[in-house]
Structure formats: structure tokens, C-alpha cells
Structure 1
Amino acid sequence: MFTFRQIKAATNDFDPVNKLGEGGFGSVFKGVLSDGTLIAVKQLSSKSNQGNREFVNEIGMISALQHPNLVRLYGCCIEGKQLLLVYEYMENNSLAHVLYGKKEDQRMLNWRTRQRICVGIAKGLAFLHEESALKIVHRDIKATNVLLDGDMNAKISDFGMAKLDEEDNTHITTRVAGTMGYMAPEYALYGYLTYKADVYSFGVVALEIVAGMNNMRFRHDEDFVCLLDWALNLQENGDIMELVDPKLGSEFNKKEAVRMIEVALLCTKQSPALRPKMSAVVKMLEGTGGVQELVMDPSTFGDPSRFKGYKHRSDQSSSRNISETQSVVRSSDGPWIDSSSASAQDLYPD
């Protein structure tokens, strides 16, 4: 717990100069603690339905999760009407920001950095799904929710309020929450959620890392509605190397690039049963495990209607990003827990 006095001192009384941005939940400020630690302070809006004590009490459960590839929540402050969350500060903003954001914000990511970022995301998800005491389904894995520290290490962001679901199920059927273009089809269409939904989202992000393009903003020609659609076509025609970001020139490891693309396409299989676990993905990306054979799914590839539902909903909302991103967690042997939080887009708004 932090005192309001500490937060005021750290942000120089919420000086506008330190304001990083403003999202749906309130303003975000850069701050420096008395020991020199850089922080990002989210000042929750009184209009936010997260602005309550229950949120802060429950958030302690998520803050207990610590991993090199997860953004760390340092603590919070509740004094009067003040409700503040204190996170570690990420010097290089988000992956989306540097990969395909505004031209002045983009940075040239060499192949080695891209490979490290992709493996880092995979390791973070493997921890959430398989290694932590609370098994967590993030539900909104995307480039804007992957933050980068000073050394360009990837850290998954977006954790918050948790609510207990009394039913101990292998999956959960729930209100769909996430971002169009990254949601697994079984989740987007039927609300059927397992950790394999995160695996699908990771696959989309991995393709974006290789191509340097946003999945939903990709426009090659009218035959392809998104980057994933184009990648599937290239895979079918044996032209997969066309997917590699031209900005890399010849300065990339071809073997690793092919492997990352193959893993990404494996993760985005239409059937969740055909997607690998994230621990297996880490091994594949690091070259310590073989990539499973890719078999094109005839039910999706070559079917003109394969993305009609997505495109229709995308036209309605190009980024169906709920302001209260929800995750689902469960204890190792216990029930699922539904959790929601401020997104990294709120923490580091564009």
C-alpha cells in the first residue's frame, strides 16, 4: 500500500508534464519513488466501475503473480475518493507502439529482438496457463497489451479484479470480451473459453512480429481481410517468406523466421484441440522442440465465408476492445475465477 502523499511526491503533484496519457479508466502518470524506482500511476476515474474497494482488495491476488515476462503491480493507494494503482514503468511503451504505431514512434526492431520478444510473450503465457498457482486465461493478448522495458524485454500487461466462479469446469462459457482480430473463433462466436483462446491470440501477435503489420489493419488486396488470412494463403502456395517484414532486408535468421511463422499458424488453428500448449510453443520457438506438422484446415482455408462473421463485426467495431478487459483464472485444483482490469492501452495510451 502506498500513501497518497507518496504518490503526490512521486508524480510531482500529478504534474501534467508527467502525464503519460488518458484511457477509459482515468489518467496515467509517470513517477519516481523516493528510492529512485520509476513507476506508472493509474489514477482511476470516479466514473469507472472499477473505482471501488472491492477491486483493490481483489487485485492483491493477481499482484502475487511474479514473472520476468509479466508487468508487475507494485501496489495501490486508497485514501478518501482516491484510488490509484502503481505499476512498474515500461520505458519503451508497447509492442504495437514500436512495431506499427505512428511513424515517429516506430523503432526498427532487428530480428534478434523480435525473436526475444516473441519467446518472452510465450514464456509469460506458459507461466499463466501452466506454472502459476492461479491458472489464468488472459483473454486479451495483443500487441498493445505487450509492454517493453528498457532492454526491450516483453512483459504481458492487463490484470485486475477477480471474482470467484463456483463451478469447477474445464472451460467457461462467458460474455465475450476482447479485441476483434485476436479472439479465437470458438470464443468470439460461442463464448467458449479455455487457455487455448490465448494460444490463438498469441499466434496472431507472432505473425504481427514477423510481418511488422497489424492483423486488422492489413490490406493486401480485397481477397484478404487480415494478416492471418494472407499468411494462410502464402502457406498454401509455398510463399511463406513473403510474410517477413521487408524492413528487415536480409538481416534475419531464415530458419527462425520460418519456425516462428509455422508456430504462429499452428497456434491459430480453428480447432482449439489442434493448438499446442504454450510450454510446447516456447520449446518450438527456442528450437528445442520440433514444430508439429501443419495441416491446412479445409473447413476454413479456401472457404470464401471463412471470415465473413469477423469482417461484419469488425466493420461494426474495428477494435472491439472492452474498457474492462476480463481474464479468467482458477487455482491449481480449484474453480475458475473471472478477472477484469484496466488494459495496457489505458496504462500506455497511444
Structure 2
Amino acid sequence: MLFVVSLWIIKRKRKTHSSKEITQITHNFQHEIGKGGFGIVYRGSLKDGTMVAVKVLSSSSSQGSKEFEAEVLLLARVHHKNLVNLLGYCDDMQHLSLVYEYMDNGTLRDHLSGKILNGDILNWNQRVNIALQAAQGLDYLHSGCTPPIVHRDIKSNNILLNRESFNNDYATHISTRLAGTPGYLDPEYYKNYGLNEKSDVYSFGIVLLEIMTVQSGDIINIIDSRLQGYFDINMAWKIIEVAMSCTSTTSEERMTMSEVVMELKQCLNINELQIEFEDTKSSIQYSSGTIASD
């Protein structure tokens, strides 16, 4: 089973909704599924039955209509396979809202913490694929947009998983609320009160450590014990090294997201070659065996 990772971002094709339509889409704001600096997120559905997530700006938010409009215009610039699809928005001051496609399988944090009680845990390859694809989405914001877009709030709670019906894969998405969360926030922020691409790299490094480990100690012990030893130790060391580079206290010493993507791809490629080798080895051993006759 593979995972496809995406970021909460607005695509170009989007529909303007009225305040009345937002009320109808959210079924009168009945199903709250999240809350953050932007406001409250509700589950809803469009007239054609499409499930959506609607972020409604809170009255206590510091963001006003001009900031909201600027954000919509900013996010409308980007398009990438790992960026979540914005279906529409409402610019009515009564209900300033963003209407996204609905991610139906919780957050990465939910899965890592065991909150998703479906009996499954993320295996090693799934975790590395999630990390790689999240890195690709983030790299696009940094290197594929002019000027570069700094996310500013990369964390496991903002990485959403969506099971794809046609092949049971997952899609993973990262929210674009520009905020910053203690524990994930670049320590250099407290010196210059500014965030840049390397700030995102730092936050991603924290997420990478979170994906792979559960406690401090020897490499064998810090990898999530629920994997029951089913991971490649050399690959684990490499990923930990990437994470430690990302979380260097000085931004100059951190990798770029392009370098992170390259390193994670290399890890996956080596792992796939090892799996193919083991499969070929098993096949040769089986075909060279003899069958005893009576």
C-alpha cells in the first residue's frame, strides 16, 4: 500500500459561494471536525454529494477581509499533485470561508498516536513515502513558485491522509495556515522574528523525526516499536541523519527541501532494489529445489 502526499493549498479552479450556500454546504455548521488559528473547520457536502471541508474564519481571528483576499490570490498561484484541491471560497464578511476537498482518513498525527483505531499502523515504507511526498509538495512551494512560498506551519496535525478508492492508496495533505506551532517552530524565529524556507525545513525535520521515532536512545529502540523490527537499519540511520540536518539550530547548516527530496528518493530506491533482490533470490532458491519421489 502506498501513500500519496499533498498539501492544503488552493488550485486555480474554484467557485465563489454565498454565505447562504456555505450554511447549506455545512448543514448549518453541524459537523465540526477541527479548529485552528484560522477558525473552525466543518465537514459538509456539495449539491452533487461531494464531501468537503469548510474552513470558516473565526470572529476572533486577526485576519480581515483584505488579508483573506490576499491569501486566496496567493494560494491560487500554485498547482501540484501534492497540494490539496480548493474547490471554492466565500468572501462574504459574515462567513469568510475556504471550501476544500475532504480528506477522509484523519491526520498523520492521528495515525502515529493510534487515534485512528482501524487496527492498522503505518508500516516503514508507508512512512517514508509520506515523508517523501510531503517533502515534494514543500519543495514545490520553495522552488517551483516565484516568489517562493513559505508555509510556516508544517506539523503532523497539518498532514492529512485520504484513502483513494480506486487502489486503497492514501493521499496526504498539509494545511496552509500561516502560523507556527511551538515544538515545530524554527528556533531562529525567536532571534529575528522572521520565517523563511529554512524555517519550513526545520519544521519538516521535526515531523520526519516524529514519523520515524518514539523515544530517545539507540537507533533500534527509538524507531517506533509497533513496526516490530520490520525496517532497514541503514535506511533508518540515513533518514535520521536527514532529519538532524533539517533541525540544525542554524539555518545555514540545514538542507534545502530539494536536497531532502533527493535523499529520501535515494532511500526508497535502495530499499526497492533490496526487496527485488530478496524476491529474486527466493525465486532462484525455490526453482533449484528438488521434489522427493516415492
* Equivalences for residues 18-97 of structure 1 within 5 A: 18-79=31-92, 81-97=94-110
CA-CA distance at 1:93 after TM superposition: 2.0
Q: How many residue pairs were aligned?
A: 249
Per-residue CA deviations over 1:49-96 (Å, capped at 9, x if unaligned) read 324254135422213322222233222113462222211211122111
**Which amino acid is the alignment partner of residue 260 of structure 1?**
I
Which residue among 249, 265, 284 is the counterpart of 1:270? 249
CA distance in 2, matches of 1:47, 1:271: 34
CA distance in 2, matches of 1:283, 1:289: 10
TM-score, structure 1 normalization: 0.64
Q: Which one is further off, 254-263 or 139-148?
A: 254-263
The equivalent of 1:261 in structure 2 is 240
Contact 1:97/1:105 (8 A) holds in 2: no
CA distance in 1, matches of 2:196, 2:96: 32
Per-residue CA deviations over 1:101-138 (Å, capped at 9, x if unaligned) read 64758951111211111001111111111112330122
Contact 2:86/2:101 (8 A) holds in 1: yes
TM-score, structure 2 normalization: 0.75
Structure 1 residues 180 and 113, CA, compared in 2 at 3 Å: closer, same or farther? same
The equivalent of 1:247 in structure 2 is 226
The equivalent of 2:176 in structure 1 is 158
* Structure 1 gaps, min length 5: 161-176, 214-226, 291-350
CA-CA distance at 1:207 after TM superposition: 0.6
The equivalent of 2:7 in structure 1 is none
* Equivalences for residues 113-152 of structure 1 within 5 A: 113-150=126-163, 151-152=169-170
* Structure 2 gaps, min length 5: 1-15, 164-168, 270-294
CA-CA distance at 1:45 after TM superposition: 2.5
Structure 1 residues 96 and 83, CA, compared in 2 at 3 Å: closer, same or farther? same
2:17 aligned with 1:2, yes or no?
A: yes
CA distance in 1, matches of 2:268, 2:127: 19
CA-CA distance at 1:11 after TM superposition: 2.6
The equivalent of 1:199 in structure 2 is 201
Contact 2:128/2:268 (8 A) holds in 1: no
User: Which is helix-richer, 1 or 2?
Assistant: 2
Higher relative contact order (CA 8 A, sep 6+): 1
**Which amino acid is the alignment partner of residue 176 of structure 2?**
D
Per-residue CA deviations over 1:127-153 (Å, capped at 9, x if unaligned) read 111112330122221111212222333
Structure 1 residues 265 and 21, CA, compared in 2 at 3 Å: closer, same or farther? closer
CA distance in 1, matches of 2:202, 2:261: 14
Give the secondary-structure state (helix, strand or coil) at the position aligned to 2:160: strand
CA distance in 2, matches of 1:179, 1:106: 30
Aligned-residue sequence identity (percent) comes to: 43
- RMSD between aligned alpha carbons? 2.7
CA distance in 1, matches of 2:62, 2:249: 35
Q: Which has the larger radius of gyration?
A: 2
CA distance in 2, matches of 1:269, 1:106: 36
The equivalent of 2:291 in structure 1 is none
